[in-house]
Chains A and B, each alone.
Chain A
Amino acid sequence: MIRVTLPPLGFVQIWRDAARLLASHDTPPESVIWSRDAAADLFGGGDPLPERDGPARVTAPASFQRLVETVLCHRDPQAPSWLYQALHRHQRDLRALFNPADPLTRRLEELAKPVRREIHKMHAFVRFRELPAAGPRRSFGAWFEPEHAILEAATPFFAKRFADMDWMIATPQGVARFDGRLTFHPPAPRPDLPEDASEALWGTYFANIFNPARLAVKAMQSEMPRKYWSNLPETRLIPEMLAGADARVAAMRAAMPTDTPARAQRILNRQAPQMDLQRPQTLAEAQHQAAACRRCGLCEAATQTVWGEGPPDAPLMIVGEAPGDAEDLSGRPFVGPAGQLLREELARAEIGPTWLTNAVKHFKFTPRGKRRLHQNPTRGEISHCRWWLDLEREMVRPKLTVALGASAAFALTGSAAPLTPRRGRIEPATDGGPVLLTWHPSRILRLPTPDQPAARAELAADLATAREVLARIEAG
């Protein structure tokens, strides 16, 4: 029998060295006794560890090393021995350690879980009190009583967090001190920590952030178990908070609403919106009113109204279907992929000042996970939005309008006939102006790649036509 005794501090290194040495000799788990209690050695005796490495090469995955660091903190006296069993078996059977259903792997995981939880709870429930400081750095101290030996595993967290102050955390298993460097020391009697002025403020906060109408005492206790309460200053307030809760809710119900303070009405009057029921007279007024448009249901889901943009006296107006995802987010027309294609073709066609807008001014979509799938607006939605398009046309007064795609063609001409035979032609708009019909750039993007160049060339040709027609109109 070989006996290995683990010390109260620094036990991970001792276990690791011993386990590696034993496994290299292929020492079976049954012939090792792992002990954490130096006193037990008086009775046990046992053989010493071998002096040098055995013939076998010992391997373990990084995940196992992390598991060792956690499981060894568990107070269960069997923990070191189960870990050695797993290491020993892993030298022959590489699969079991990675199988979460394997009983030994599972047992180790079950030991690790409460340790991880307690480390987390220590990070949460340590409460520092300020101590008189000798030097320029402020000094703090805390007392904490963990169930497992987590002091060394849990305190590096505090070293990263509170690097600009000196602190110590005392526990029954040992003391961690930090003065720019983290050191561990044997246990000392519980320190006498002075009263801290912030504790009263913290209590005030704790008592007031609580909503008495939502009592859920079990939920509180499962996350903040009673064993920690003695070292949490705020828990002293809980009985009083609980006792008063029902009465506070009843009082809220019973209380009559108080009179509205006199200043309230004055403040509200100042903010009351100016009702703009008048028909807008300028593009800016129209844009302002359109921002609050509720003519159809699309405004419920869309982010914002996407109004047209360009020089207000542009001789050319380009009307697309509706804003897409990118336009909806930025509030500007033709900024998404289709818009970029259009802007490239407009630049190439050397068309002058242009007013860019859409037949429907709100994005229509259905959510799919993290994406929004574009949907075509219905004829009803297009008709509702005509009010804005007509206003825009009256104010911009374009000499020529280009309709991109079937929806724009319908909005401008009132005809829902198929677009293919009409493409490249000029039709009269419902208000009489000329409308040149062409493809919507998003249709080009949706075509199979080999078909895209032809359709794009047609769009380019139509834009060239538009430039010529404009030149003719302007020449009179």
Chain B
Amino acid sequence: MKRSLQDKLAILADAAKYDASCASSGTTRRDSRAGGIGSAGGSGICHAYTPDGRCVSLLKILMTNFCIYDCAYCINRVSSGVERARFSPEEVVSLTLEFYRRNYIEGLFLSSGIIRSPDDTMADMVRIARMLRIDHGFKGYIHLKTIPEASAELIEQAGLFADRLSVNIELPQDASTRKLAPQKKPETIRAAMAGVRLSREASRERSHTGKRSARFAPAGQSTQMIVGADAASDRDILTTSARLYSGYDLKRVYYSAFSPIPDASTALPLIKPPLMREHRLYQADWLMRFYGFEVEEIAGVAPSGNLDLTLDPKLAWALANRAQFPVDVNKASREMLLRIPGFGTRTVTRILAARRSGPVRYGDLLRIGALMGKAAPFVVLPDWRPGALTDSQALRDKFAPPPEQLSLF
């Protein structure tokens, strides 16, 4: 029986929903005034939100959910009884363009199960991207989830058409990958990321004639880690992230709370997805990338190596490092201001601008948008001193939500 396009879309969107990434930001600026259709660049646009609170920016689908691999956490593994379907490359291209013209999406995020061989699968994905870019002059965003085992030439081509490439690291520790995804090799995944980094760097260098070659994956590369499918602590997870950021110049590491899947493997528990843990990991990741924190500072607060679920990681760090507070907002360096709970990067930029016009006071900070409810115990201002508040025993209780009766679910 031949499936309709609608049936295939239902199956292959459903199969793609466990990938956390949907970003469409940070690529080269381009638009359709000189021909073709579409535009990209700057910050991406989320065109809709689903009731799981996540945005829809890209048409996120699998080319096929047939797969020869048997990764325990994945609904598409070869041993699962899930319904299978496969788009033709033309169908993917037409869906992308028609959705784009109606302003539903910013572009395409294409992933795939592995059929026949990694190279065959990757070649089909590259063909889709080439049809969009070359045959249809598509200027929107394309994100390809590359197959790590595919040949370097195919990945090289993928990077010429796609804005972003990604390879999922999947699990924070090699041992878990070997156990839960026996056909995947952690070293192959990392080598693929290293290859993308080197190709990106090479494409940014000018040749001796001063000409720049075509930009390779201008929006960079990203990856995803599943949280809660193995026993890794938050420290393990963040350590892996720090290595990935420093080694492969990743734009983002996405954390995906392990979520029950239909027809789950018996190798994994059907847990409620640890959404708060996922949220705290994103906050910690943010602190590492934009606030100058090292893994050990964030993950070292609790001996377990896990983040505090009741407090955001910056506040938890500040409470554990009270000797460094209170900070004089009018004298502190940018680095120290960034460490004050309740001050974001934008707040800090504004404080530095305001300091040029004279001393900053409590009311100024409120106007600037600082969260003084959080910041007050940690700052000194001409009209505010926290006194003993900074060191008070009860300070943590002030921030932590009141104890709640445990829910059964």
Contact = CB atoms under 8 A, between A and B. Distances in A.
A144 B220 CA distance: 34
B68 A267 contact: yes
Interface stretch (A44-52, A201-209, A308-316, A452-460): A201-209
B79 A200 contact: no
A423 B69 CA distance: 53
A200 B6 contact: yes
A99 B364 CA distance: 10
Nearest to A300: B174
B37 interface: yes
B13 interface: yes
Nearest to A105: B367
- Of B50, B56, B185, B246, chain A has the most CB atoms within 10 Å of the CB of B50
Contact of B50 (A124, A130, A209): A209
A129 B18 CA distance: 30
B52 A201 contact: no
A162 B32 contact: yes
Contacts of B185: 292
Contacts of A253: 260, 270
Nearest to A241: B51
Given A208-B10, A214-B275, A232 B48 contact: yes
Interface stretch (B101-109, B155-163, B333-341, B389-397): B101-109
Contacts of B60: 209
Interface string A384-415: 00000000000000000000000000000000
A209 B17 contact: yes
Interface string A133-158: 00000101010000000000000011
Contact of B273 (A213, A217, A219, A329): A213
A336 to B, nearest CB: 12
A164 B194 contact: no
Interface stretch (B39-47, B125-133, B304-312): B39-47
Contact of B51 (A199, A242, A261, A267): A242
Nearest to B12: A208
A446 interface: no
Given A216-B51, A224-B49, A100 B260 contact: no
Nearest to B52: A214
Interface stretch (B203-211, B314-322, B349-357): B349-357
Interface in B252-297: 257, 259-266, 270, 272-273, 275, 292, 294-295
Interface residues of B, number: 90
A128 B367 contact: no
A303 B247 contact: yes
A196 B99 CA distance: 11
A163 B365 CA distance: 45
Interface string B180-209: 000101010011011001100000000000
Nearest to B178: A294
Contacts of B49: 219-220, 223-224
Contact of B243 (A162, A211, A301, A331): A301
Contacts of A100: 350, 353-354, 367-368
Contacts of B193: 303
A368 interface: yes
A198 B101 CA distance: 10
A429 B368 CA distance: 69
A252 B264 contact: yes
Nearest to B278: A214
Interface in A224-276: 224, 232, 234, 238, 241-242, 245, 249, 252-253, 255, 257-261, 263-264, 267-268, 271
Interface stretch (A17-25, A31-39, A279-287, A369-377): A369-377
A106 B350 CA distance: 11
Contact of B246 (A102, A216, A371): A371
A161 B354 contact: no
A234 B354 CA distance: 44
Contacts of B292: 369
A218 interface: yes
B102 A209 contact: no
Residue picked from A100, A130, A212, A215, most chain B C-beta under 10 Å = A100
A163 B37 contact: yes
B353 A264 contact: no
A201 B259 contact: no
A123 interface: yes
B31 A161 contact: yes
Interface string A152-195: 00000111111111000000000000000000000000000000
B257 A214 contact: yes
A128 B100 CA distance: 10
A142 B47 CA distance: 15
Contact of B56 (A103, A209, A292): A209
11 contacts: A160-B31, A205-B99, A211-B18, A211-B54, A211-B259, A214-B54, A232-B48, A329-B198, A367-B246, A372-B243, A372-B246
10 tightest Cβ-Cβ pairs between the two chains A and B: A216-B53, A219-B53, A258-B81, A101-B364, A160-B31, A367-B246, A210-B50, A163-B32, A208-B13, A100-B350
Given A214-B52, A303-B191, A305-B187, 10 more contacts: A123-B45, A128-B102, A161-B38, A201-B6, A204-B10, A223-B46, A257-B264, A303-B190, A331-B194, A367-B245
